[in-house]
């Protein structure tokens, strides 16, 4: 009971004040949270330790890795930033971020340093939000502090010229905001939530399911109905504007409106992993418009004896048919435009043009064989979600500059002419990152066990309503992320870092609660705010 008792009552009193002025309320809330952090000795120590550890680890890390890491995606992000493109193979938000950064600096280390600082700051906000709302035991708080802020994965993640640290940070701020929407809603949160969600969506389309979680949070919050409706529909409206804008820009290139050519390629890619298992037995004719592509797919499976094993380790981590030169999708694209193989081929007119066709082909195969799709794609992808491939965290590719991918754009944006790492630093990264897929599997398991224990102890009924509502939202977030990732998204380690943070934070809470209440004799836990 004492672990959850209010420790900061004099700071909490402010949150019950009747001031509803948006600007004044926001300033007072920030000041009150600052008092919560600064006036408590333990929280003040957390803050100092965070600053010293974050700075120290980053300086040590940059001594070992003085250059940023680049993968294929990095070159396209930077190219779009240099050319000020409005559409790209990937969401354009990160490229716009780089372009704004280049207005002030072209320092590669400053860019990755900002990424690391942003990620650490957002984790700090999430950490103190969790401390304030859920009052964990001291040992639990110490353990989470170590897991969040002495975590090598965040160092390596931030050192890539990739959208991951920006997306993870925005997502962490977004879920932190939703916790406050449920606990103590204020009108200004409608705006901040919508902006955070929209920003995350422009950086990565994994945020497509975020409005579902935002809707649930506003429904569970205690505020006027018109405020709830505004909070629900405003981010959807912003996302719709972005989708229409992007579709228009693609139409300017291809003559056909589409939001994401990448999604069309991904749909066909996923279907081909299934198709490889029964293409020989498929005798029913395919629609006329798909016959050429279908024939090329069958010829590929015969020639290369590809079993379509999604669990097989390969360099594309589940996206083989999107990127490999021998893939029937890639070969069909070049067959249609009458040109030979060339690399890189993304973000060209022909790549964008075949996106809708590939999407239609993928949907056709999946609709015709839903059980097979569940067996040969969804189930293996679920196993990959539990124990995800390391992808860029397990590849040697990032440790040198690949000139044909777009070296000129890297030089113009970041001033990099070469990327050099010592063999010892490369070996160290491989040794450290090798364990993270297994670690993430244990975090998944710990979260599920903790959740089951919490529910078994009737935790959702034994704590106050605002806190149980927050936990209901977190569980729904976890379910949506699992469903979205397994059914349609690429599953690799870096795509699961955000949900890993959420699982660590609330998995520890569930386990701590279960440990203290497993005998069912403990009194009902009331969070006194």
Question: Residues 284-306: pLDDT tens digits?
Answer: 788 999 999 999 999 998 888 77
Whether 234 and 300 map to the same domain: the answer is no
pLDDT, average across residues 17-44: 62
Does 19 score more than 50 pLDDT? Answer: no
Q: Does residue 16 surpass a pLDDT of 60?
A: no
Lowest-confidence segment of 51-60, 269-278, 304-313 by average pLDDT: 304-313
Strand ranges, E, within 307-349: none
Q: Does residue 317 share a domain with residue 451?
A: no
**132 lies in the same domain as 265:** no
Of 76-90, 439-453, 507-521, which range is least confident?
507-521
Within a domain: 144: yes
* Separation of alpha carbons 343 and 348, rounded Å: 11
Task: Give residue 199's pLDDT.
Answer: 96
Question: Can you tell me the distance from the alpha carbon of 264 to that of 261, in angstroms, rounded to the nearest whole number?
Answer: 5
Indicate whether 485 belongs to any domain.
yes
Lookup: tokens for 69: 């890491």
- Residues of the chain above pLDDT 70, percent: 88
| Residue 347 DSSP symbol | T
pLDDT at 239 over 80: yes
The range of the structural domain enclosing residue 294 comes to 261-380
Q: Quote the tokens at residue 290.
A: 């798909």
The CA–CA distances, whole Å, from 397 to 426, 436, 441, 462, 492 equal 11, 19, 25, 51, 16
Provide the CB-side half-sphere exposure for 343 (13 A, CA).
12
228 and 278 share one domain: no
Answer yes or no: is 527 within a domain. no
**Range of weakest confidence among 86-90, 166-170, 441-445, 466-470:** 86-90
Query: What total of structural domains would you count in the chain?
Result: 2
The answer to whether residues 246 and 267 belong to one domain is no
Question: What are the tens digits of pLDDT across the range 402-437?
Answer: 887 888 899 999 988 888 888 888 889 988 999 999
Calculate mean pLDDT across residues 102-118: 96
Q: What is the pTM of this model?
A: 0.90
Identify whether residues 442 and 376 lie together within a single domain.
no
Do residues 63 and 201 both lie within one domain?
A: yes
Domain membership of residue 20 (yes or no) is yes
Mean pLDDT of 151-164: 95
The pLDDT value recorded for residue 279 is 81
Per-residue three-class SS string for 124-180: HHHHHHHHHHHCCCHHHHHHHHHHHHCCHHHHHHHCECCCHHHHHHHHHHHHHHHHH
**pLDDT recorded at residue 258:** 83
Residue 195 lies in a domain: yes
């Amino acid at each position: 009971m004492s672990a959850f008792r209010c420790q900061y009552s004099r700071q909490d009193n402010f949150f019950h004040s009747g001031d509803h002025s948006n600007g004044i309320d926001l300033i007072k809330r920030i000041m009150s949270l600052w008092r919560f952090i600064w006036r408590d000795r333990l929280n003040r120590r957390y803050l100092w330790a965070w600053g010293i550890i974050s700075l120290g680890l980053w300086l040590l890390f940059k001594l070992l890795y003085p250059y940023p890491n680049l993968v294929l995606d990095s070159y396209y992000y930077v190219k779009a930033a240099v050319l000020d493109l409005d559409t790209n193979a990937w969401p354009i938000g990160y490229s716009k971020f780089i372009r704004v950064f280049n207005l002030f600096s072209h320092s590669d280390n400053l860019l990755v340093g900002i990424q690391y600082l942003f990620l650490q700051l957002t984790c700090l906000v999430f950490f103190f939000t969790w401390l304030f709302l859920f009052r964990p035991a001291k040992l639990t708080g110490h353990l989470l502090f170590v897991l969040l802020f002495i975590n090598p994965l965040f160092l390596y993640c931030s050192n890539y010229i990739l959208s991951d640290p920006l997306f993870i940070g925005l997502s962490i701020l977004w879920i932190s905001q939703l916790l406050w929407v449920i606990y103590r809603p204020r009108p200004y949160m409608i705006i901040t939530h919508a902006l955070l969600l929209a920003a995350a969506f422009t950086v990565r389309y994994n945020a497509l399911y975020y409005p579902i979680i935002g809707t649930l949070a506003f429904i569970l919050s205690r505020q006027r109905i018109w405020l709830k409706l505004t909070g629900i529909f405003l981010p959807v409206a912003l996302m719709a504007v972005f989708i229409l804008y992007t579709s228009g820009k693609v139409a300017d290139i291809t003559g056909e409106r589409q939001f994401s050519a990448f999604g069309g390629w991904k749909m066909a890619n996923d279907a081909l992993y299934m198709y490889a298992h029964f293409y020989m037995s498929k005798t029913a004719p395919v629609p006329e418009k798909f016959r050429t592509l279908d024939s090329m797919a069958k010829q590929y499976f015969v020639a290369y004896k590809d079993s379509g094993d999604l669990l097989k380790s390969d360099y594309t981590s589940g996206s083989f048919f999107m990127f490999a030169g021998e893939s029937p999708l890639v070969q069909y694209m070049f067959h249609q435009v009458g040109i030979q193989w060339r690399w890189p081929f993304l973000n060209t007119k022909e790549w964008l043009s075949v996106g809708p066709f590939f999407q239609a082909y993928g949907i056709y195969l999946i609709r015709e064989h839903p059980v097979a799709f569940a067996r040969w794609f969804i189930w293996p992808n679920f196993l990959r979600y539990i124990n995800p491939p390391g992808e860029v965290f397990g590849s040697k590719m990032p440790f040198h500059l690949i000139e044909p991918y777009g070296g000129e754009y890297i030089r113009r944006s970041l001033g990099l002419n070469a990327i050099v790492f010592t063999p010892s630093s490369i070996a160290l990264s491989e040794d450290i990152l090798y364990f993270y897929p297994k670690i993430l599997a244990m975090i998944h398991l710990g979260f599920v066990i903790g959740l089951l224990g919490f529910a078994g102890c009737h935790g959702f009924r034994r704590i106050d309503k605002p806190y149980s509502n927050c936990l209901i939202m977190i569980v729904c977030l976890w379910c949506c992320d699992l469903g979205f990732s397994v059914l349609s998204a690429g599953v690799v380690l870096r795509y699961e870092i955000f949900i890993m943070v959420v699982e660590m934070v609330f998995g520890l809470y569930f386990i701590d609660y279960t440990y203290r209440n497993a005998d069912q004799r403990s009194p009902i836990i009331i969070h006194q705010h």
